[in-house]
A and B are shown apart, each in its own frame.
Chain A
Amino acid sequence: MTTKQLESPLYESLQAQFEIVSLQDQHEATKAYRTQAMETFRALGFPSIKNEEWRFANVLPLVKTTYEVSADKNAQISEETLAHAQSLIAAHKEDILPKLKGEEKGAYRLVTINGVFSKELSFLPDNAGITISTIGEAVDHPGYQEYFGKIVTLENNAFASLNSAMFTDGLFIELKANTVLDMPIHIIKVKLASGNALFQPRNLFIVRKNAQMDVIETYISDADNEAAILINGVSEIALEENAHFFHYDIQKGCKNIRKIQRNEAVQQKHSNYSNYTFTFPGSSFTRNNLTIHLNDEAIESHLYGLYLTAGEQLVDNHTEVHHKKPNGESNQLYKGIIMDKSKAVFNGKIYVYEDAQKTNAFQQSNNVLFSEQATVHAKPQLEIFADDVKCSHGTTIGQLNKEAIFYLKSRGIGEEQAKQLMVKAFAFDVAEKIKIPALRSYVEEMIIEEMKGH
């Protein structure tokens, strides 16, 4: 191993676990894919901070922990866990669902508990145009055969490789051509564990021609839980011609959660993929990799990010946008409010390939440091090989405008509330991009809630 890799007992134990996972997999193509991915992972190892892509996200504490690896593909949820999950979901619903216009009226609900899909707790669309199943059940589905493992980039991605080798659960959602879902699908992911645990969910979303869906992902874990939970997730996303996918990832977890997520999307002509990754205080380590391939002409991609961080949290967003064909438009807007001793990272890559003339690619990252000990590293990286393109990027890091705060205070508004108003204003242009009004107000209220006392 080179110095760009970390030595860890986890690495060793994963090798052993891999054999079990592989043996359990009855599907030849998937099995071959796993083996290949494991080889890639072995060659890469866990990245150290000497690896440029992981410079500010030290995974050493994560991989030093030993985790129970969920290797059993046929894991069942115990009665006790189910009951516990149910009560947590009830509380979560109180929190978020009323804002989605009342229970089971504003959104479909899809529940997974420790990665296992719970039909019992879900409320699914009754629509022949949609297929929802576990990833394991989907192996014979044409959509699976067409896209599974073909979207995510394993090269130089140790965690994605590991996920590809060892995933045991996840969701498969396919929207057939011309299907437009009437309500968003709210995916609630419950993570409960009595000991340290590693989860590696693997999802595949396919939105066929002219189809449209909204997906909201949220997380629940147990606030009292001390056990370290590492989630190493991968979602592959395919948008066919003129497909629209609005994908909301609302990340708010407890301190014991460490999360590395890779979302990778491929897009066809006239499609629109809009990703909203909003991270709130909670989980101690969050790394989001969002990669989009504009594989055809006249594609739109929107990447909206908001990170409000507190405590000693780390939130690291890495984006990659690949413009491969002409007339594409990508738009990245990331806003961060970094409080306490927390740390935020934004690294945004835009590649404009030689063929991608008339590309419009924009990127903006604005950050507000809320305390002297908060840090942020923001870096745009543009590589442009076409000549007729419009690209722009901007990064700002600053404090809240003191003059503005004085103005608000001089009208009788207290310090804390003045700051809240300013932060809400700062986040406004990202928040207003949320197309579901109830979700938008949920997010805006959460900003205020999480800022209390800062």
Chain B
Amino acid sequence: MLSIKNLHARVEDKEILKGLNLEVKAGEVHAIMGPNGAGKSSLASVLAGRENYEVTEGSVTLDGKDILEMAPEERAREGVFLAFQYPIEIPGVSNINFLKTALNEIRTHRGLDPMTAKEFLQKSKEKQALVEFDAKLVNRSLNEGFSGGEKKRNEIFQLAMLEPKLAILDETDSGLDIDALRIVSRGVNKLRSENNAFILITHYQRLLDYIVPDYVHVLSDGKIVKTGGKELALELEEKGYDWLK
């Protein structure tokens, strides 16, 4: 599904990713851990197409297609979804209208008809239930005045609605209370399938108790420095990152 080869990227003349390799297959869940400032969010940004990152070397393909050449919206339509570490508030843009627009853009790209208002409502209800997202929030302005946890849940609600191939969750667990964490994890587990894949960026092994990963990677100083199974997360929790340097 996703193939990252020797990826180098910089932001404002500072090299952040320094030859990163990662292979993610359909149906898999990969966790990425690593110290603050290692480049985890940067990797997510590069995959999503944030403009201030410049890729200087390497390649990224999604099902064989070069996504680095694509605009952010094209990547999204191809099935890339980033749940942001810090979702932005956009006053005046209604959450639900925004989602409807996004969903229909993606459907059009896939050769499907736009959803009718009724179908959309139905789907929205279903997914709200799945991630236990408050109906009141659905009708508000996008993230405006949402609590930190509500913003994170909104990201997962969007994920559920848009059904991407590849979902990258950047510290979605940070700032979630224990109930929310359980709900979000349950949602993600229900969304997991043979046809999609997840990359979970996290600092806490706790999340991985709920969403069990196939692989755990350590990203440090712009590269993957260690890869293991889910037991690696436990080891990291115990020993920290210093022993890997």
Contact = CB atoms under 8 A, between A and B. Distances in A.
Is this pair of chains taken from one and the same complex?
yes
B102 A412 contact: yes
Contacts of B81: 410-411
A387 interface: no
B111 interface: no
Contacts of A429: 92
A415 B93 contact: no
Contacts of B99: 411
B49 interface: yes
A425 B158 CA distance: 20
Interface range on chain A (Cβ under 8 Å from partner)? 20 to 34
Interface stretch (A7-15, A29-37, A99-107, A416-424): A416-424
A421 B99 CA distance: 12
B158 A422 contact: no
A426 interface: yes
Given A410-B76, A421-B98, A426 B92 contact: yes
Interface stretch (A228-236, A305-313, A400-408): A400-408
A413 B76 CA distance: 8
Contacts of A411: 73, 76, 81, 98-99, 102, 158, 162
Contacts of B150: none
Interface string B29-67: 000000000000000000011110000000000000000
A412 B84 contact: no
B162 A425 contact: no
A417 B81 CA distance: 19
B190 interface: no
Contacts of A414: 73, 105
Contact of A413 (B49, B50, B88, B105): B105
Contact of B87 (A407, A413, A417): A407
Nearest to A407: B88
A176 interface: no
A385 interface: no
B51 to A, nearest CB: 7
Contact of A425 (B72, B82, B90): B90
Nearest to A403: B88
Interface residues of B, number: 31
B152 interface: no
B145 interface: no
Contacts of B82: 410
B73 A413 contact: yes
A379 interface: no
B50 A406 contact: yes
Most chain A CB within 10 A, of B48, B102, B103, B162, is at: B102
A408 B49 contact: no
Contacts of A426: 92
A409 interface: yes
A410 B72 contact: yes
B169 interface: no
Interface string A373-407: 00000000000000000000000000001111011
Given A406-B50, A421-B101, 18 more contacts: A406-B51, A407-B88, A408-B90, A408-B98, A411-B73, A411-B102, A411-B162, A412-B76, A412-B162, A413-B76, A413-B102, A415-B71, A417-B105, A418-B73, A421-B98, A424-B93, A425-B92, A429-B92
30 contacts: A401-B88, A401-B90, A403-B88, A406-B50, A408-B90, A408-B93, A408-B98, A408-B102, A409-B49, A409-B71, A409-B72, A410-B75, A410-B76, A410-B81, A411-B98, A411-B99, A411-B102, A411-B158, A411-B162, A413-B98, A413-B101, A421-B93, A421-B98, A422-B93, A425-B90, A425-B91, A425-B93, A425-B141, A426-B92, A428-B92
